[in-house]
Structure formats: structure tokens, C-alpha cells
Amino acid sequence: MRRKEREIKNQKEMEDILKACSVCRLAMVDEDKPYLVPMNFGYRDGALYLHSAREGKKIDLIRKNPRVCFEVDEIVQFRKAKEACDWGVEYKSVIGSGKAVFLSDPEEKRRAFDTIMAQYSDGAYDYPGTMLERTLVIKIEIEKMTGKKS
Ligand SMILES: Cc1cc2nc3c(=O)[nH]c(=O)nc-3n(C[C@H](O)[C@H](O)[C@H](O)COP(=O)(O)OP(=O)(O)OC[C@H]3O[C@@H](n4cnc5c(N)ncnc54)[C@H](O)[C@@H]3O)c2cc1C
């Protein structure tokens, strides 16, 4: 990272950012082009969990190449100023990469849904078997991540 003073090296601090964010931008490889979609997610123990319909472009691309990149960020505040060049933004962000796998075991899927729901709510939820069957659950095993704050 060019701005070393902005780098977050502490794993826990990166995990705190992941737990505080509500949208993850998931980037995939589409032959010679990138493809990116915003998604809700949950973070637990070094992995992201996402849910999706069974079909669509992102699923087709992940099936072809499971290597993905993701980004999450929090805007802490905008620093307003009189001069345009003095404006700034205080942010915290994490970028990572890893391998996407589709979960098939109903118990693993249930835990993944618990993780996604826990990202947004304190509640406890039940998931009907039909919903578990028809929904795809993606686990991204994070292999590398970096954090930055300004
Ligand atoms: C805040 C937020 C949270 C979301 N959470 C989830 C989630 O948890 N799970 C989930 O499956 N989806 C979620 N979505 C929707 C997601 O961004 C995709 O639209 C969806 O997953 C379908 O992607 P796809 O590749 O299958 O698109 P397809 O239906 O196959 O369509 C592909 C085409 O649509 C365009 N497209 C796809 N998505 C978008 C988009 N969001 N905005 C503009 N153009 C788009 C692509 O550029 C491409 O041209 C969320 C969207 C937002 C904004």
C-alpha cells in the first residue's frame, strides 16, 4: 500500500469493519472483463456468506471461475471545506480475495443464513426447508485481505 500510515494491519480491526458493513461488492472474472455486483452478506470466522437466486450472470461466472474479489466500506464522515481541494472523506475499507463455493449441506446453509441475519439483526430466525432448497448460498473463504482507513 502506497500510504503506509493508512494501512490497517490488525486482523481484528479488519474483522470489525467487515461486521459493521451492510453491503459487499463482489467482483468476478468475465473472460477479459471484470463483473461486479453489490450484495448483502455476513462475516464469520474468515469467510463471507452470501445468498442468491440459483440463476443469473454472477452464478454463471462463479461456476466458470470461483476466484473472486470483494470490497466493503464505511464512510466515517465527509470533511467539508471552502475549497474543493480541501474536501475529504474519512473512511474504513477492506478489500479481499478468495474462492467461492456453493454450500449444499442444509445445516451449513442454515448456519450461513444465521450469519447473514446476524449481520443486520439481533433476532433468531427459522428458515423453511423449501427456502433453504431453492436459495443458493455462497461461502467465500477469504485467502487474503487488506484494510485501509483515512
Ligand atoms: C444493496 C444491495 C444488496 C443486494 N443484496 C443481494 C443479495 O444479498 N443477494 C443477491 O443475489 N443479490 C443482491 N442484490 C442484487 C445484486 O446486486 C444483483 O442485481 C443480483 O444478484 C443479480 O445479479 P446477476 O449477476 O445474477 O444479474 P442478472 O440478473 O443475471 O443480470 C445481469 C445484468 O444486469 C446488470 N445488473 C445486475 N445487477 C445489477 C445491479 N445491482 N445494479 C445494476 N445493474 C445490475 C448487470 O450489469 C448485467 O448487465 C443486492 C443489490 C443491492 C443494491
Question: 4-149 maps to which CATH number?
Answer: 2.30.110.10
Domain ranges for the chain:
4-149
Closest ligand 1 atom to the C-alpha of 23? 1
Q: Is the pLDDT of residue 1 over 90?
A: no
Q: Is the pLDDT of residue 56 over 90?
A: yes
Would you state the pLDDT for residue 5? 87
Compute the mean pLDDT over every residue in the chain, rounded to the nearest whole number.
Answer: 96
Average pLDDT (41-58) is: 98
Closest ligand 1 atom to the C-alpha of 59? 26
Can you give the pTM of this predicted structure?
0.96
| 109-140 residue pLDDT tens | 999 999 999 999 998 899 998 999 999 999 99
Would you state the pLDDT for residue 19? 96
Taking the centre of ligand 1 as the mean of its atom positions, its distance from the CA of residue 3, in whole angstroms, is: 32
At 106, the pLDDT band (50, 70, 90 cuts) reads: very high
**What is the best residue among 21, 26, 39, 131 to mutate for testing ligand 1's pocket, by most ligand atoms within 8 Å of CB?**
39
Average pLDDT (56-61) is: 98
Contact assessment for residue 39 and residue 72, using Cβ atoms and an 8 Å cutoff:
no
Neighbours of 124 (CB within 10 A): 8
3-state secondary structure string across the chain? CCCHHHEECCHHHHHHHHHHCCCEEEEEEECCEEEEEEECCEEECCEEEEEECCCCHHHHHHHHCCEEEEEEEEEEEEECCCCHHHCEEEEEEEEEEEEEEECCCHHHHHHHHHHHHHHHCCCCCCCCHHHHHHCEEEEEEEEEEEEEEC
Closest ligand 1 atom to the C-alpha of 38? 17
Would you state the pLDDT for residue 123? 86
Taking the centre of ligand 1 as the mean of its atom positions, its distance from the CA of residue 37, in whole angstroms, is: 5
Q: Is the pLDDT of residue 103 over 90?
A: yes
Share of the chain above pLDDT 70, in %: 100
Q: Measuring CA to CA, which residue among 34, 27, 101 is closest to residue 63?
A: 101
